[in-house]
């Protein structure tokens, strides 16, 4: 299945809400236009380490909403449907959030949007019925990091990793057979990442309920 990764490979369990990623940068980025990207086939994800700072707490598989909060307002980062392409949030995405009583707090430079919304509305906006594949909880509202995949046009070098670290990227892992990195990046750095020599494009990381890779 193009553009999506296995829960079992990632070590995720919906009921346990186990997928995590770090978010070290604490400066709010300015709004910038992200470069567009061509569709590409997605690789199988290698196992990723866990970090205590973030959960894929609102990930929908098979319509199972039993792990969701049922009341109150929550702040989440929605990974918008975009399959194999990179895009930025659109007016239609914003209207879908506000139609459910949500408030858009920050549109990212990839297919992610931060919103405040009633917990009861999550099943309508995340999963098969909504605009989002999954939602990440936001433990620190001052942090604007986003999980990304960075595609290169050639083999990745130590100089490439050093260039990414200089713009605030924390690397998580690499696909063994393809020049693709899995990382957490400050949103403000995404336009800079796109300009690093050898980078084809960066996109919001994809996840899936599929487990047959």
pLDDT tens digit sequence for 172-211: 788 889 999 999 999 999 999 999 999 999 999 877 655 3
Q: What is the largest CA-CA distance in the chain?
A: 48
Find the helix or strand (DSSP H, E) in which 76 lies: strand 73-80
Tell whether 77 and 95 lie within a shared domain.
yes
Structure tokens at 175: 């696909």
**pLDDT of the residue at 64:** 59
- Here the CATH number for the domain that contains residue 181 is 3.30.70.80
**pLDDT of the residue at 173:** 86
Tell whether 138 and 191 lie within a shared domain.
no
Tell whether 138 and 94 lie within a shared domain.
yes
Q: Does a structural domain hold residue 12? A: yes
Q: Does a structural domain hold residue 33? A: no
How many domains, in total, are found in the chain?
A: 2
Q: Does a structural domain hold residue 59? A: yes
Q: How confident is the model at residue 137 (pLDDT cuts 50, 70, 90)?
A: confident
CA distance 117 to 91: 17
Q: Quick one: DSSP state of residue 196? A: S
| Structural domain range at position 69 | 7-26+45-143
CA distance 30 to 18: 31
**pLDDT of the residue at 79:** 92
């Amino acid at each position: 299945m193009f553009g999506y990764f296995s829960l079992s490979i990632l070590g995720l369990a919906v009921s346990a809400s186990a997928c995590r990623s770090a978010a070290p940068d604490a400066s709010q980025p300015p709004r910038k236009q992200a470069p567009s990207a061509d569709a590409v086939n997605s690789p199988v994800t290698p196992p990723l380490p866990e970090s205590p700072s973030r959960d894929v707490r609102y990930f929908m598989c098979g319509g199972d909403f039993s792990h969701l909060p049922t009341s109150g307002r929550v702040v989440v980062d929605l990974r918008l449907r975009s399959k194999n392409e990179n895009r930025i949030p659109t007016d239609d995405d914003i209207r879908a959030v506000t139609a459910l009583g949500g408030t858009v707090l920050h549109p990212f430079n990839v297919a992610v949007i931060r919103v405040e919304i009633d917990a009861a509305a999550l099943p309508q906006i995340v999963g098969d019925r909504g605009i989002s594949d999954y939602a990440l909880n936001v433990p620190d509202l001052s942090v604007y990091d986003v999980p990304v995949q960075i595609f290169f046009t050639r083999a990745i070098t130590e100089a490439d990793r050093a260039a990414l670290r200089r713009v605030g990227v924390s690397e998580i892992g690499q696909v063994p057979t393809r020049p693709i990195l899995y990382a957490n990046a400050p949103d403000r750095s995404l336009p800079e990442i796109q300009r690093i020599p050898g980078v084809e494009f960066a996109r919001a990381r994809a996840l899936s309920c599929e487990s047959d890779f």
